[in-house]
Structures are given as structure tokens and as C-alpha cells.
Structure 1
């Protein structure tokens, strides 16, 4: 039997994550247009789950199918009825909003594009460095990406409250739009040329690839330049947020010339 302290701790964890548990609460949150980041459902659940899926599609909210055990773990023992929604911590912006921020400052756009960064700690660290480096915003995909949850906010040390984040349905298409507006796209890839010899002044869109696989093939093809870091040790790659920080501050260094 669990003790009272454990129950209290679990309740606090659930509140901290802004979980919405149960079918009716999730349905009402969707109908009320509450800011929801993602919905987790048991694919074997029946009944009103179909309505939840319909409402989620209408609002273009990602839905992830998970096992019942995963939902039990997320709910910390509370009843969930086969569905849990996670409320986002902040509103997302449009890509045009980020471009407007740069224009209002009279600066060339400096945008970080995260290609399937799924670890919220990495996304939070990238946001923190980007804000410190003077980037105008972050772009993330709606699918297969960490989102603006509490872990991201905590890891960013508050930077997520200041740096705008746009979430797009089609990341390659968003990159195409940036290129049409005169922004050069720089991808980070081990097969690229040494970053220190590449001119990164002017409008910059810096693509940071996922933790395990780097950039996707299509995203790599969209890049105007592929950049790499010299690796002298036996380890051939860096943490995504660490590598992103190095590239970001190379942009800062070159802009300061």
C-alpha cells in the first residue's frame, strides 16, 4: 500500500506537468479551445475516444498512441480512462512573427530550426543559448519534436518566456518559404565543411538535427550549406544542444566583425 507522502508527491507531479486526465475533461478542454500540446491515447480504448480524436484533428493537435502502462505511469496512479492531454506552457507564434521581430530591430533574421529534437532538455538548452546569442526565434515541427512543456521551460532557465517559438506542420516547406525571403539555410552535419571557413553573415536559418540521427534527408537537401565541427577525439559527435551552441556563437562572432 502506498503511503500518503507518495500520493502527495504524485499529485504534485501531475499538477506540475499540467496533465488533463480522463475523457470528459479532455473533451471539454478541446471544446473550450484550451492550449493543448499533445494527446496520448490507448488505441484499444473505445467510445468517446473517437470524439477526442475528431476534435484533435480539427485543431491539428498531435495524438500519440501509447500502451495503458504508459498512461498509468504518466497519471501517477490517477484515473485517466485511456486518455491524457498535456497543456502547453505558452502560445506558439507564426514564422512571420519571428521575421517581423528581426525587421523591427533592423537586423538580418537569425532563426534556429530544430529538426526533430525530441529531448525536452535539449530543446530547452537550445532555446536558452539561442536567446543569449540574439536569435530572433525557434522553429520546430508539430510531429516528432519536444514541445513547450515544463521541462523545456525549466531547462531554458526562463529563456522560453522571451524567445518566440513557431511550430509548423511541414518543416521543409517552412524552410522553402524562408529561402524565398532571402534567408540562407545552414545545416549541421558531420559530412559538411568545417564551420569556421563558412561565411555566416547575413540572414541565417540554422538547422539543428535530431539527437540520434541528425537532419532528415529532405531537410539536408534543403540546406544551402552543410557545416561540421572538427572532432579530434574518439567520440565522433556532440550533444545536439552543445553543437548548436557552437554554431550559434559562430554566427554571433562573424556578425560582430
Structure 2
């Protein structure tokens, strides 16, 4: 299903995006060495309840996971890159943490992810991983203009990732959002320009580049959710929800003033 939002619906989606951005900003400021991943989940749950929002993850049970997810945020540490299931783990100095968060507020969904280093950076490679996903996201957003195609976004993202020397996995990528979290069109993190669905005003997309330092292969944790790099290499993941407008792309999950 592909939803095209009306101007009134897009106004509500902006509020969802602003809330997601505030939560991720607050959590990033609050997390430190010694923070337990279960506490991060609880903090996010408190903010969801306070806003009258609904978690997109709590009852999430897709075919690839051992559902329901049962938590309100994905917490992926070091070699974990996607769908990190919160568990009893105290963050250590130098851990690379990704928070992926999606809620429905006013009936419309926003979805975003941020990767950052907890405490003291371990080295330049972690920063390079994070910066590369951010640059790829910026390129993908710039390509998300009315009249362009999904393949143009995928190509822009993949060109940045591969030019930086990283292998690109296309099993999981961006997607449409609207009244539900995961909708068509699927947006692989690599592709051919000029192919796929034509972007039009009112379409809302979650664009999410992610990479692993030395592989494109994933393995599943015994928890049935957490996806890790097959080699144990570090990872990074950055995501924004973006609306296609007549004037170009609008980032709905940018950090509010």
C-alpha cells in the first residue's frame, strides 16, 4: 500500500516527526556509560505515554522476527545494526549505539534512527561509519524530489556508501510511512536511477542508510530480532522521515529548535 497524504494529514505527520526527533535527542543526551538498554526503553515508553502516542514496535510481529517485539525502541550496540532488542546490558565506554524509534501520533507515523558513540570514541573508524551514513542520507534526501523515482534515492544513497568503500546490503532499507510504519515503496540502499515508483507530493518516506565496516552479510541473534554483522564488525544506521512536497523534500524528523 502507498499512501499520499493530504495537506491536513501532512500537518499531523509533522507533529509526529517533531516528537520522534525530540525523543531521540533527549535519549542521546541522557544515555551515558553505565546506562542500561532496558532503562532506555523505559524512558522512551514514558515519553510516548506522556505524549499520547502509540509505539510502532511494541506489538510489531513481521515474518522475519520472533514477534511481537515487546519493546518501544530498537537499541543496537556495536556489531548489531538493525532491530536491536533491548536487554539487560549496561553500556560501556566506547560502545557504538544506534537508537531506532517510530511512533504514531494523531494517526500518522514518523520513524528515525541515530548512531552515536557512548563516552570516549574508540577510533576514527566509528566516526567514519556514522558520518558516511549521514552523508548518504543527505544525498538520498536531496534526490527525493517530485517527479524523481525511488531508484534515484537508492542510487544516491548507494553511491555515497560504496564510494566510501563499504559493501551495501539491500535486504533492508527505507520504506513508505503513513498510517502504518512499513509501507510501499521499498527503498533499497543501492539501485539504478530512473527506476521505480514516481515520487509525488504527499508521499512520506523513511530513508535509512546503514552499513557494516567490512561485510554486507547479516546474522540473526538467538533473540530472533537483533541483526548483526556476520564478521562482528561495527555498524552504523541513520534515518529520517521525509515528505515529498511541491518545493522538494521536507525532513519531518529534524531536531526542533
User: Which structure is richer in relative contact order (CA contacts within 8 A, separation 6 or more)?
Assistant: 2
Q: Determine which structure has the larger helix proportion and give its number.
A: 1
- Please identify the structure whose Cα radius of gyration is greater: 1
Please report the TM-score for the alignment, with normalisation by the length of structure 2: 0.24
Q: Determine which structure has the larger strand proportion and give its number.
A: 2
Please report the TM-score for the alignment, with normalisation by the length of structure 1: 0.24
